[in-house]
Amino acid sequence: MMDKKTFAVHSNAAITAIGTYVPERILTNAEMEKLVDTSDEWIVQRTGIKERHIAADNQFTSDLCFGAIDNMIDRYGVHITDVDYIIVATSSPDAVFPSVASQVQAHYGIVNAGAADIQAACAGFAAAIQLANGLLLSGAHRKILVLGAETLSKITDYSDRTTCILFGDGAGAFLMEASYNGQGDVAAVYTKTDGERGHLLYRSSLASAIGEHAIQTNGYIVQNGREVYRWAISHVAEGIQQLLERSGYTTNDIDWFIPHSANMRIIESLCEKTGFTPQQTLSSITQYGNTSAASIPLAIDEGLKSGIVKPGQLMLLYGFGGGLTQAGVVLRWSL
């Protein structure tokens, strides 16, 4: 048994299992045409989205987390009762508190774990990996469940055609563990926030203004799509370059580029600006829409299931969105 000090010095963070879940109900573009004045052609051309999965009325973000964790246990046979920290990235928790992470702790009877939700919108999953990585590297924790999970359908205004076509529900889970062999999976991290642009994409709660900007108070996701788009293709592209520089790798070294699946046009523009090719890029946008904190694990899992993601490959994960905030991670996939 290593003492704590030795553990802290030699520990590293490894991803040891993944699981995902999406609700059964599918909302197609054809059904969207019945809800708002839109068309399949417009949605596909502007966003690349064909359908999204929508939670049942009695199904909440915690339920989707349970689905993703059960899927992980089924596939990898991992034990999670000895997990010592649970982080859930979400913008659509069942309640503000207790956290979704607390509900995960209770559901699985994980008796000695800390638990917290983090809210970094669509950057949430990458931000949660960064936090888990830091906790594992410091020696403070040894086995962490990291989840990105959303029921955005519950906070989407289905009378607003500029937003309702975009969002869907889903969940993804990583198990991250301290590795004693000196081989960590996370190679580099990067974060950046433009809080002065926060009013461009928000879900309101108590206040009716963000800084100087009056906002709607209906509790739905509200956005200035055009401005968010502009920010994404300029500032986010720059952030991705910064992360690459930090990692010491080039686009040629990275096997898979996995940007947040905001929409296909943003992904294509990010590829053009950063030098990643569409063939190097994984997304979950076509079948799942924008699932915010869940979009990156859903995209990785699609790649795993189709056999193109392999152990030893380098990945660049990059989340961005409400805040406006960005978080990115370069990691070596080991599953």
Q: Which residues have a catalytic role annotated?
A: 122, 260, 290
Length of the chain: 335
Q: Whose CA is closest to 116, among 73, 146, 80? A: 146
Burial code of 128-138, b = ≥16 C-beta within 10 A, e = fewer?
A: bbbbbbebbbe
Q: Least distance (Å) from ligand COA to the CB of residue 180?
A: 37
Judged by beta carbon, residue 93 or residue 184, the one nearer ligand COA is 93
Q: Least distance (Å) from ligand COA to the CB of residue 132?
A: 22
Reading the block at residue 317, the tokens are: 């994960």
Burial class (CB in 10 A: 0-12, 13-18, 19+), 285: buried
Judged by beta carbon, residue 107 or residue 161, the one nearer ligand COA is 161
Residues in contact with ligand COA by CB under 6 A are: 38, 42, 46-47, 122, 161-162, 165, 223, 225-226, 228-229, 262-263, 266, 290, 321
Q: Least distance (Å) from ligand COA to the CB of residue 33?
A: 9
| Rg, C-alpha atoms of the chain | 19
CB 192 within 8 A of CB 242: yes
Backbone conformation region of residue 10, classed left if phi is above 0, alpha if psi is from -120 to 50, else beta:
alpha
Residue 155 DSSP class: G
CB 65 within 8 A of CB 293: no
Judged by beta carbon, residue 226 or residue 310, the one nearer ligand COA is 226
Judged by beta carbon, residue 286 or residue 334, the one nearer ligand COA is 286
Judged by beta carbon, residue 51 or residue 255, the one nearer ligand COA is 51
Task: State how far the Cα of 19 lies from the Cα of 2, in Å rounded to an integer.
Answer: 30
